[in-house]
Amino acid sequence: MMSERPNRLAAIPPPVRGAIWMITSAALFALMTGIVRHVSFGMHPFKIGFFRYVFRVVALIPWIVYSGQAKIRTRRLGLHFGRALLALATVMFFFAAVSWMPLAEATALSFTAPFFTTFGAAVVLGEVVGLRRWTAVVIGFAGAMIILRPGIGVVSPSALLALASAATLAGGVLAVKKLARTESADTIVLYQSVLVLPLAAVPAAVVWTTPDGEALMWLALIGLLATLGQLAYVRAYAAADAAAVVPFDFSRLIFAALIGFALFGEQPDVWTWTGAAVIFGAALTVARSESRRTDTS
């Protein structure tokens, strides 16, 4: 009976399987974001980010122990360290943004990451970026401006933190692209997990107070959801082409809006939904262009 499950899963067409994994990932990440918002009412985002990595490393310890010396060797420790810094900044910026702004709005702004990646790929990595991708980048940032509406009111610091999180996430993607030329995926994951934790301890120490048992339970759940969400995300891309699964990542905004409404009484306005739709449409164009470029390379 146990052997029937993999066979049933394999029988599902790859695009459908990829969609299921991506929607699962979106739900897990949205739930994690909602718990971060809940915990942030009594805890600084720096501490939340630190414990996220504590419980991630705890979950990865068996894998680290048995990973073998081949995955530990590297000649690019400096780039691994830089990537760890970017990963830490991404989490800290996003957790801080979620603490102070509606979940749906923070999630919508996080979709701008592909545009920062495209810009960085052209400027930093020297990749050739065609007119279609540049147009998508411009349209995507126009979508962000629809959400922020800088001409109508003052742009909140929390919104800028959400954009900063997207930018540092893009920086991490570019670092992975460079690392992947010489390092295995396992080595990249290993060094990020090991290096980020002591880095995260520094800002957490500045605002440190020892959490109680209930808080630790919520923090452990954040770490678990983040790990499961990442695994589901990777499985989505392993099951089908990026262009087939990326549209379903938009469900993360829907889940975030539902959680924000149910738990915190948040109601996204029409500008948030409009801007999110523009951002997502442009991001989908970038993803499809990237998929075609990879297929022909």
Reported as a single tens digit per residue, the pLDDT across 194-239 is 899 999 999 999 999 999 999 999 999 998 998 888 888 888 888 8
Q: What is the pLDDT of residue 296?
A: 47
The pLDDT confidence band at residue 1, using thresholds 50, 70 and 90, is very low
Q: What is the mean pLDDT of residues 183-204?
A: 86
Q: What is the mean pLDDT of residues 58-85?
A: 78
100 found inside a domain:
yes
Q: What is the mean pLDDT of residues 158-183?
A: 90
Number of domains in the chain: 1
What does DSSP assign to residue 250?
A: G
Q: What is the pLDDT of residue 71?
A: 61
Report the share of the chain in percent with pLDDT over 90: 46
Q: What is the mean pLDDT of residues 244-261?
A: 89
Report the share of the chain in percent with pLDDT over 70: 89
4 found inside a domain:
no
167 found inside a domain:
yes
222/206 Cα distance (integer angstroms): 21
Average pLDDT, the chain: 85
Does the pLDDT at position 243 exceed 50?
yes
3 found inside a domain:
no
Q: What is the pLDDT of residue 9?
A: 63
Tokens linked to 36: 């971060």
Instruction: Give residue 280's domain range.
Output: 15-296
Does the pLDDT at position 121 exceed 50?
yes
Q: What is the mean pLDDT of residues 23-38?
A: 95
Question: How far, in whole angstroms, is CA 40 from its chain's centroid?
Answer: 19
8 A C-beta contact, residue 193 and residue 56:
yes
pTM for the model stands at 0.85
Does the pLDDT at position 95 exceed 70?
yes
Other CB atoms within 10 Å distance of the CB of residue 201: 14
Least confident of 59-73, 74-88, 92-106: 59-73
- Which position has the token pair 């540049």? 134
68/66 Cα distance (integer angstroms): 6
8 A C-beta contact, residue 251 and residue 36:
no
1 found inside a domain:
no
